[in-house]
Structure 1
Amino acid sequence: MRGVSDNQERKRGARERLQQERAREKAREKRRRTLIVASAVVGVLGLAAVAGLVAANSGEDDGGGTSDAGPLLAPSGVQGEEELAIPVGAADAPSTLTVWEDFRCPACAQFENALRETIHELEKAGQIKIEYHLATIIDGNMGGSGSLRAANAAACAQDAGKFAPYHDVLYMNQPPEPDDAFADNGRLIELAGKVEGLDTPAFRSCVEEGKHDAWVKKSNDAFRAGGFSGTPTVQLNGESIFPTKGKEQISVENFKKWVKEANEGKPPGTRRPAAPTGGGSASPEASPS
């Protein structure tokens, strides 16, 4: 009888090892499917490489729920459906640039770092307004909480009227994708020092308490429900423009052309909020460190 029992134990152990290996292989395959290489934009943006669009991770828990995130407190000045858009620019600008981003997303940083000056130029000229939406898909894909923590900190910066410069600082100082450095609130507060007037007791408290965590998770829920292919998702007046608009690849020149075509015959926007939305400026040292 002992021989039969030992044999059953060996078979059970073999089955468990096989199940574990299958689970590991399934996880590896899922990670491979989540990376969509955006090779079309290599060179077009003048970049050495583009890490890729990170596809929405269907079926895996990425912290998208709001039940354990405390009360839902939206940052000041948010707009749009369910108040999930952070606006930057004149409210009456003739064109709207809608951007869905994750602060841990390498392709988002590539997009931002390549087109930042152009976007700011067109926004300041009243040609476009930007509506930023925050997602946290890489926390689910890679593990960690840096996407959530950085998004909450950016929402705290919105409360202070300094979302835009802090948003830029985060992308200029983005860690490598596997490095969850943004999970450290201390690092996020340190980077706030690169934005004039942002590092205040109110901002620190907002970051450390996760004041806007539930709002960020609600935004991520909206991203997942929207059927978007990945981050960044960039739309000009509702039409996708990243990495291409129709058959044209995105570039600084093409982006300016698309905005000019969309705005033909329309006056620039001039109606800006009395209290600055995305005001302030990044300090000269706001470069990768």
Structure 2
Amino acid sequence: MSQKNSGDGNRSARERLQQQREREKAREKQRRILIVSAAVVGVLGLAAVVGVIAAGGDKDSGSDKAGPVVAPTGATEEDGKPAIPTGKADAPSTLAIWEDFRCPACAQFENAFRDTIHELEATGALKAEYHLATLIDGNMGGSGSLRAANAAACAQDAGKFTAYHDTLYINQPPETDDAFGKNDKLIELAAKVPGLDTPAFRGCVNDGTHDSWVAKSNEAFRNGGFRGTPSVLLNGESIFPQKGNEQISPENLKKWVAEANKGKKPGTASPSAG
């Protein structure tokens, strides 16, 4: 009788141990699922957070300046959406980028995709259209979005938009620091772009020459149904943070452009100003 009880006890112990192992496996599987889910939510949450910012962007951003709209040299406008073009004008694909120079997510996008965009532009596969917004000013106060956008438009007048645009994002201050609201800071950064820091550029920055043009661009952003910045569209289709079921990445951007350009000749026209 005692041997039977002993056998039953051993089986019970083994069963409890097996059950414990199964529970541990289940917990580990759940932990892995949560980790993967968190990573996905982290990517998608970026757009969601920025979208919340945009939703509150109807506050006065300080960009609604009265006065004539003075577009920067070479700027374009289609369907009431002012833009600064870069790349070869006859490139078969167009990347429309809606950005705010104070937006941290915009800096993350630019710093991750800058080289890829420049490479695609250089080969004539892609041209870009930069639309400037000032939603961070409207949500957090200050004028850094507006002042930086005007300075970038002034750089476009000098044919140095791309270099200055990249410099602003590389040197972007924290979102809560309105350093770009100071013209002296914007002029200081212009010294990093050879040939940009001229009396004409300084005058354009200090006079707010393109403030009303920036305000018009921001109004187009507010009326465009965008969820936030950056909003990135390839040939009119949103690709940030994903296109269909694929997450955006430098490799996927190249693939999507190649697919869109299949059977089309690369652009050969002189690069757009900037």
Range class of TM-score, shorter chain: 0.7 to 0.9
Unaligned stretches of 5+ residues in structure 1: 1-36, 43-48, 279-289
The answer to whether the 8 Å contact 1:50/1:110 transfers is: no
For residues 269 and 109 of structure 1, the distance between their equivalents in structure 2, rounded to whole angstroms, comes to 28
Deviations 1:79-112 (A, max 9, x none): 1224711000111101000000000000000000
Q: What secondary structure is seen at the aligned counterpart in 1 of 2:119?
A: helix
What code does the residue aligned with 1:124 have?
A
Report which of the two structures shows the higher radius of gyration computed on alpha carbons.
Answer: 2
Among 124, 128, 142, the alignment partner of 2:140 is 142
The alignment's TM-score, normalised by the length of structure 2, stands at 0.80
Q: Is the 8 A contact 2:47 2:241 kept in 1?
A: no
- Partner of 2:76: helix, strand, or coil? coil
Point out the structure with the larger helix share: 2
Matched residue type, 1:40 = V
Distance 1:86 1:137 in 2: 18
1:153 pairs with 137, 151, 154, which one?
A: 151
Match of 1:40 among 20, 40, 43: 43
Matched, 1:63 2:62: yes
User: 1:101-160: CA deviations, max 9, x gaps?
Assistant: 000000000000001000000001100000000000000111100000000000000000
SS in 2 for 1:99: strand
Letter in 1 for 2:43: A
The CA distance in 2 between the partners of 1:75 and 1:260, in whole Å, is 31
Residues 207-252 of structure 1 show CA distances to partners (whole Å, capped at 9, x for unaligned) of: 0000000000010000001010000000000000111111110111
Paired residue type of 1:186: D
Matched, 1:230 2:233: no
Tell me the equivalent position of 1:260: 258
Distance 1:160 1:83, change over 3 A: farther
Write the mapping of 1:156-175 to structure 2, written as runs, cut at 5 A. Answer: 156-175=154-173
- Native 8 Å contact 2:87 2:122 kept in 1: yes
Amino acid at match of 2:77: G
Superposed CA RMSD in Å reads 2.0
Structure 2: runs of 5 or more not aligned: 1-39
**Which one of 84, 91, 94 corresponds to residue 92 of structure 2?**
94
% same residue: 69
- Residue correspondences, number: 232
Q: Which residue of 1 aligns with 2:125?
A: 127
1:75 alignment partner AA: P
Structure 1 length as normaliser, TM-score?
0.76
